[in-house]
Amino acid sequence: MTRLRGNEARCEALFASGLQRSDELTSEALAKVISRTVRRLGIAGCAGRMAQEFGDHPEAAVRRMRWIRQLISDMNATALPRQGRPGDCPPAPGTGQRASRPAAGSVRRAA
């Protein structure tokens, strides 16, 4: 299974899942729903199901995606701050953005 990266993939997986507003909506429960949906449909399957719903029922799909994006935002807000996670790269100097990680096995040389 390909590892999910980014909020877009998480949103697609939650959108394609059977998640309802009445379900348990903790960060842990959402992570399980995301994993289970990706195992069942694959990342491309999640995106395809979402695209189909936007084509078939655009108004309902917009409302669902707005709700899903809010869930993901709330889930990220309750997680550890990005800089506090072990293994995260610090922001690149002067950019406010994270430096990219070196490829596995590569060595960064001092300039």
**pLDDT, tens digit, 9 for 90 and up, residues 13-52:** 999 999 999 998 888 899 999 999 999 999 999 999 999 9
CB atoms within 10 A of CB 72: 18
| pLDDT confidence of residue 5 | 61
| Residue pLDDT, tens place only, 78-106 | 764 544 444 444 444 454 544 444 444 44
pTM, two decimal places: 0.64
State the burial class of residue 34 (Cβ atoms within 10 Å of its Cβ: 0-12, 13-18, 19+).
buried
